[in-house]
Amino acid sequence: MTLLDIVLFLPLAGFLLLLILPKESSRMAALVISLAVFVVSLGLLMPYWFQYPSGHTFSSDIQWISYPPIRYHVALDGLSLWLVLLSTLLTPIAALVSWNYIDKRVKEYYAFLLLLEFGVIGVFVAMDLFLFYVFWEVSLVPMYFLIGIWGHERRIYAAVKFFLFTMAGSVLMLGAIIFLYNRTGTFDYGVIQGMIQTGSLVFDTRTEMLLFLAFFGAFAIKVPLFPLHTWLPDAHVEAPTAGSLMLASVMLKMGTYGLLRFCVPLFPEAAHRSAPWIAALAIIGIIYGALVALVQPNMKKLVAYSSVSHLGFVVLGIFTFTQQGLDGAVYQMLNHGISTGALFILVGYLYERRHSLEISAYGGVATPAPNLSIIFLITTLASIGLPTLNNFVGEYLVLQGTASANFGWAVFAALGVIFSACYMLWLYQRTFFGKASESLSHHMPDLTTREWAAIVPLVVLMVWMGSFAQTFLPSISVQNAAILDQTKKLRVERVAIPARQTAEVSRANR
């Protein structure tokens, strides 16, 4: 049993424990368990601290089902490491921000939160396609309940929409996974990937494209990529604060992670061929998301649409097939997790005070709550990509990668950065500046200790990730280089064969 197994199963154990424990202690128990998971998960950093191994670490591989051969195969690499840490960091924060916000059916709430953590960590570490699918679906169920039970007025609509969108995408992915199994006799990602790389598994162009699309559809819905994003604003607006936090910061990353981990290395040819289309959708998403965010009267909806815009950058970065683009994409996944997560928390703080998400209900908050305003300002600046804060690094890398792949794309994508400054600063201005009304001042106490505790780690990370990217980037780069390598080798081979044939034909003609 490796450390990774412990990190994975500790939340599940916590979930079961919470079901047994009395209701009164579930808050504290969930916090303690999730903090314990986080502390243990820090141990995963050990192999990555002084060096940057390119292969798997903490891998464990046990047979689960004999026929078809499904294995419990989990492992960590430079890509999943940070996403796992992001999940384990945000779960205790989610438990903290729910402390007073959730007052009914507390036990079930925290139980679902831990089950969700189990599901998402599983998604990031599964190295068996089947196991990956299992975790993918398992993570869906607790989020469905989190939105549906503890959400706002239209929660049921949002929860069902969320479930059905994801389900519709993932069943086709299941079909593709079964198809891959039928061709290869294994679900093991490493084995299948190796077969593709060495050329012992070759698809014809049409099959490869269909398989690619089946995977891509599932991930694109989760990301969400324009035009499949419509479930996201609903889910975010209706979800409780911690639900939005986990959804934006962790679950959306499942989609981009899937693209990077499965879509690109398994079907490189199809990925390259469809890259222009996907890049176009990503750019539309960037600009569309930003423009729609600009006109939102509802804060949470604004942040939700900004997510569509930010995630567009991630997808764009992946489909540039450049080292910088991929590095930027992964870094941006983490950044978005931190800064948008923080925005959702802060919006949640405002909501707990004023019980409204409408921007027009605020104004002049800076006077009664200066600390809240400062933190919100830092987060806003991080979100719009101010240098020395985290998003700058990611966006810069993505744009650089994009520019080297296709300069025109970079120009349009850069518009998104400008728009993000517009909508975020305007939001800040309308909410925090001006003169506070009498009723608002009364209901706007400054941050409490608990609220500080939840937000400070994120603010620290914003600065850290913006100023010392070296802590994070090297291990990510090593992994991305491997992924790029996997796609490139194959392309050279594939291109080389017809080229030689034409050469022979032309020689014969001569």
Partner 1 sequence: MPIASFLPTNADYARFLPELILTVAGVLIMFMEALRPEGRRTNAGLLTILALVLALPAALVAKDGSAFQGMLVIDGMGTFFRTLVIVVGLLVVFSSTDYLRREKQESGEYYALLLFSIVGQCVMVTANELVMIFIGLEISSIASYILAGYLRDDARNNEAALKYFLLGSFATAFLLYGVAWMYGATGSTNLTEIRRALISGTPPPEALIGVAAALIFVGLAFKISAAPFQGWAPDVYQGAPAPVSAFLTVGPKAAAFAVLLRIFLGSLEPIASRWEPAVWVCALATMIVGNFAAIMQSNIKRLLAYSSIAHAGYVLVAVAANSGTGSVAAMFYLAAYAFTNIGAFAVVTHFSRKGERYVSIDDFAGLAQRQPAMAAMLTIFLLSLIGVPLTAGFFGKFYIFKAALDAKLVWLTVLGLLNSAVAAYYYLRILVVMYMREPGESVETLPPAGALLQIAVYGSAAGTLLLGIFPSLVLDFANRAAIR
Q: Residue 436's closest CA among 366, 339, 352?
A: 366
Q: Give me the least distance between CB of 232 and partner 1, in Å please.
A: 18
Does 12 bind partner 1 (CB under 8 A)? Our answer is no
Tokens of residue 184, six digits: 């290869």
Kindly determine how many residues on this chain lie close enough to bind partner 1 according to the rule CB under 8 A.
Answer: 32
- Chain residues 93-122 in contact with partner 1, contact rule CB under 8 A: 105, 108
* Interface stretch with partner 1, choices 4-12, 179-187, 336-344, 460-468 (CB under 8 A): 179-187
Q: Residue 31's closest CA among 103, 83, 106, 139?
A: 106
How many residues does this entry show for the chain? 510
Does 32 bind partner 1 (CB under 8 A)? Our answer is no
Does 276 bind partner 1 (CB under 8 A)? Our answer is no
Distance CA 237, CA 469 (A): 32
Does 191 bind partner 1 (CB under 8 A)? Our answer is no
Does a cis peptide bond (omega within 30 degrees of 0) precede residue 368?
no
Distance CA 226, CA 272 (A): 19
Q: Give me the least distance between CB of 300 and partner 1, in Å please.
A: 20
CB 446 within 8 A of CB 369: yes
Does 171 bind partner 1 (CB under 8 A)? Our answer is yes
Does 219 bind partner 1 (CB under 8 A)? Our answer is no
Q: Give me the least distance between CB of 157 and partner 1, in Å please.
A: 10
Sort 407 into a burial class: Cβ within 10 Å, 0-12 / 13-18 / 19+: exposed
DSSP secondary structure code for residue 23 in this structure: G
Applying CB under 8 A, among 4, 37, 140, 329 the residue interacting with partner 1 is: 140
Does 5 bind partner 1 (CB under 8 A)? Our answer is no
Does 145 bind partner 1 (CB under 8 A)? Our answer is yes
Cβ proximity to partner 1: between 132 and 412 the closer is: 132
CB 294 within 8 A of CB 426: yes
Q: Give me the least distance between CB of 120 and partner 1, in Å please.
A: 15
Does 175 bind partner 1 (CB under 8 A)? Our answer is yes
Question: How far lies 156's CA from each of 147, 159, 161, in Å?
Answer: 8, 5, 8
Amino acid identity for residue 309 in this structure: S
Applying CB under 8 A, among 68, 185, 194, 445 the residue interacting with partner 1 is: 68
Angle between helices 299-318 and 390-405 (to 10 degrees): 40
Q: Which residues bind partner 1 (CB under 8 A)?
A: 65-68, 105, 108, 133-134, 137-138, 140-141, 144-145, 148-149, 155-156, 159-160, 163-164, 167-168, 171-172, 174-175, 178-179, 181-182
